[in-house]
Structure 1
Amino acid sequence: MSSLQQGSLNFNRSFSFNFKGGNLSSDSGLLLVRSFVEKLGLRPLLQDFFKDSIDRRHTHASIIEQLVYTTITGYKSDNASDHLRHDPVFTGILDKESLASQPTISRFINALDEKAIEYFNRLPEILFEKANPPRSTKHLVLDLDSTLFETFGKQEQSAYNFHYSPCGYHPLMLFNGLNGDLMKMELRNGSIYISKNIKEFLEPIFKWLDKTYPKAQILVRADSGFATPQLYELCEEYGADFVIRLKSNATLKKYADETLHSFMDIYGSDYTKCHVMYEEFHYRAKSWKTPLRVICRVERAAGELLPRATFIATTLKAQPKVIVKTYNKRGNMENFIKEAKIDFSMDSVSHSSFMANSAKSLIKALAYSIVNMMKRTVLPKDRKSSRMLSIRADLIKIACKTATSARRIVFKLCSSSPFKETFCQIMSNIENLRLA
C-alpha cells in the first residue's frame, strides 16, 4: 500500500482510502443473534458444561461462544479472531475487553476430549426442546443421511471414500425433516460405510425422544444405504415408523415384473407425458426378522424410452402414492446439509487431530442450530426460508460505531442500511419471544 498515494482510486484521483477509520465494526447484526441467544439461555448452559479448572482470562465457555459468533458472521479461519480482538460488537456481546487469539483457540480445541463431545451432543437436544415444546410437538420426522467433509492434509482418520471419490471424513447427520433443526452430527472415518454403527448413533436419540416427547409420532426417513435390519428393529423397539428406500435386486425386480408389464400395456406407446404406476407387496430379505410392506413406484418421464422402478420399505399404512410423496420430501435434507457446509463452513476440518476436527464441526453445528431456530421463531415470514448467506449479507454485515458515555454504550448502526425496518422488527420479535 505504501506505493499508492494514500490508497488513491484510479477512477477518481480525488478519492482515497485507508484503514484508519477507528474502532468500527462490520458485524452489528450480531446484536440480534446475541439477543436471541440470551432468550435461549445458551451462556449458562455453556458455563455449566464447560467448567474451567482454573481462573482464565478466556474461559472455555466464552471461547465456544466466540467461535459460534465468528461462524455466524462467516469468518472461516480462527486467524480472523486476531484482527477482531477489539471489535466493539464482538467484545460487547461477549462482555470481554478482547477476544481470544488464534493460538488460544487452537490450544483449547486441541485439549478437548470425549466428554466434551458428549456435551456438544447434548446442547442441540436442550435447544431443540426450547424451540420444539414437548406439549405442542405431535410429529417428528428424523431424516438420516451422510455427507463428505473433504480433507487436504494428513488429518487423523481421513480416508478415501469410494462413493464421493475424494479423501475426507464421512459424517452422519440427523435433522428434523419438518423444520431443518439439526439434532445430531457425528464425524466419522472417511471410509466407513454409510449405515455403520447406526444403532449406536440413533438409539440415544430415541431414548431422549421417548422421555421428552412420549406422545409424539416419530417417522424415520432414509436412503437405501440405511436399509439394514438394525435400523428396522430399532424403530420397532421404540415405536417409530419408517420409510426407507431399498436397493434394487433380482427378487424385487421379479415382484415388479407384473407392474412393469401392465405399465407398458397401458402407456407403452405414449412418450409425450410422464406416467406413474404404483404397486405394493410384502418382502423379506434373508437378514430380516419379518416381512415388510414394500411400495413399488414405476415411472417414465416424458421422452424417456424405458420405465424405472423404485422400491420403498415402510411401516406406514397410507396409500402408496402418499408413501412415495412422504419419502420424496426427504430431499429437503440435501438443502439443510448444503447450508450447513457452505454457509457455516461445517466441512472445514483443518486440524490434524480427529478429536479437534470433531469438536470444531460440532461448534459449527451449534451455530447452525441457533440460526435455524432463530429463522423459524423471530424472522419475518418472508425471511424464514432464507439461507444464512442471504441473512448474513442483509442483516449481519451492517456497519456500526460505538458511542460510550459514563453510563451506557450506544451502537450506532449504518444510517443507509436498506434493512433497518426488518432489523427493528426482528429485535421486537425477540423481546416478545417466549420459549419453553
Structure 2
Amino acid sequence: MKTPTMPIVCATIPCCRSSPIRNWPTRSAPSPPSTPTTCCASSSSVVCGDQVRQRGEILLDIDSTDDPTHGQQQLSFFNGGYGQHMYHPMLIFERHTGCLLAARLRPGNASSHARIVPMLLRLVPRLQSAFPAVKIKLRGDAGFALPLLYQFCEFFAIEYVLDIPANCVFKRRAQPRQKQLQRRYRRTQLPQRSFSSFRHRPRSWPRQPRICYKAEHTVAATNLRFLITNCDRPASQVFAFYNDRGECENRSLKPRESPLAE
C-alpha cells in the first residue's frame, strides 16, 4: 500500500530527512524509525519562535489516548478501563498552536501517567533554553495526579493545573461550603455553585500545594470537583483555565490517522 502523504510530512521534519520512509502492515503498528529522541527532536520544527515570544507563554496539554489493536502486535495488551486490546500512547500538545510536540508509544496496559516525567524532562529544558523569557504552563486530567509530576513542575518553575480525585480529606474540607449551598438551594430552589481553595500537604509530599474546588448543588445531585495547582489566581479562574483543556481530547490520534487510512 502506498502512503504518499508520509514522505511529504516527513520531508518537513529535519530529523526525518536522513531516515528512509517505509511502509508497515497496519496503522497501529509501532514505527521503527521513530524513537523518543526523534519525536522530541521533531518538536522544535513545529514551535514558531516569533509567535511564542509574542504570547509570552507555552501551554502544554498532556493526555493519553487509546489506539485499538487487532492481532498479535508487540506491546498490544488488554486495557480494562477501555475494555479492549490497544496501545496507550502519551501525547503532549501545545494549546495555542495545536501542535503535537511529543508522543510516546506505550503498552496497552500502561497507566495514564506512565513515562510522563521522562518525556517532559526531554522536552521542557529544550523549550526553556530556546525561550528563556517565556512562561511554561501545564494542564492534565486526574490520570496525572502524581506527586513526582508536581515536584517536576516546581523544580522547572512550570505553572500547573491538574485534576485530582476526591478523597475523604478533601470532602471534609469542602463540607461547610457544601452545606451552605444546600441551605441556599432550599431557600431559592435555584442551582447553586461556588468556588474556593485550601492548602493541603500529606506527609509524603515535600510541599503544601493549593487545592481548588468547585461545589455545586442542583435538583439532581451535589457535585464536588477538585484541582491541584501552584498558581495563585482565584479558584473560579483556575477552573476556567482547566476547563479549556477539553479541546485537547479532540486532538487525539484518530483524526490524525484518517487521511492515511485510505
| Residue correspondence of structure 1 range 338-349 to structure 2 within 5 A | 340-345=253-258
Residue 229 (structure 1) aligns with = 147
Query: Unaligned regions of 5+ residues in structure 1, if any?
Result: 1-26, 51-59, 64-103, 349-436
Q: Distance in 2 between matches of 1:130 and 1:185?
A: 19
CA shift for structure 1 position 179: 2.8
Task: Check the 8 A contact 1:144/1:175 in 2, yes or no.
Answer: yes
Q: Distance in 2 between matches of 1:263 and 1:300?
A: 6
Relative to the length of structure 2, the TM-score reads: 0.86
Q: Distance in 2 between matches of 1:186 and 1:257?
A: 40
| Residue correspondence of structure 1 range 32-181 to structure 2 within 5 A | 42=12, 46-47=16-17, 49-50=18-19, 60=20, 63=21, 105-106=23-24, 112=32, 116-123=35-42, 125-130=43-48, 133-181=51-99
> Aligned to 2:47, what secondary structure does the other structure show?
helix
CA shift for structure 1 position 344: 2.5
Q: What are the Cα deviations for residues 198-243 of structure 1, in whole angstroms up to 9, with x where unaligned?
A: 2112111111111111111111101111111110011011110111
Query: Unaligned regions of 5+ residues in structure 2, if any?
Result: none
More strand by share: 2
Task: Check the 8 A contact 2:15/2:38 in 1, yes or no.
Answer: no
Q: How many residues end up aligned between the 2 structures?
A: 254
Asked whether 1:333 is paired with 2:248, we answer yes
Task: Check the 8 A contact 1:137/1:213 in 2, yes or no.
Answer: no
Task: Check the 8 A contact 2:194/2:215 in 1, yes or no.
Answer: yes
Q: Distance in 1 between matches of 2:57 and 2:231?
A: 14
Relative to the length of structure 1, the TM-score reads: 0.53
Q: Distance in 2 between matches of 1:327 and 1:347?
A: 32
CA shift for structure 1 position 140: 1.2
Q: Using a 3 Å threshold, how does the CA distance of structure 1 residues 193 and 140 change in structure 2: closer, same or farther? A: same
Task: Check the 8 A contact 2:78/2:84 in 1, yes or no.
Answer: yes
Q: Distance in 1 between matches of 2:126 and 2:13?
A: 23
Q: What are the Cα deviations for residues 324-354 of structure 1, in whole angstroms up to 9, with x where unaligned?
A: 10010110101112xx313524998xxxxxx
Q: What are the Cα deviations for residues 173-217 of structure 1, in whole angstroms up to 9, with x where unaligned?
A: 111122311111111011111112221121111111111111111
More helix by share: 1
Q: Distance in 1 between matches of 2:48 and 2:162?
A: 29
Q: RCO greater where, 1 or 2, for CA within 8 Å and sep 6 or more? A: 1
Residue 281 (structure 1) aligns with = 198
Task: Check the 8 A contact 1:198/1:230 in 2, yes or no.
Answer: no
Choose the corresponding residue for 1:183, options 68, 83, 101.
101
Higher-Rg member (1/2): 1
**Identical positions, percent:** 24
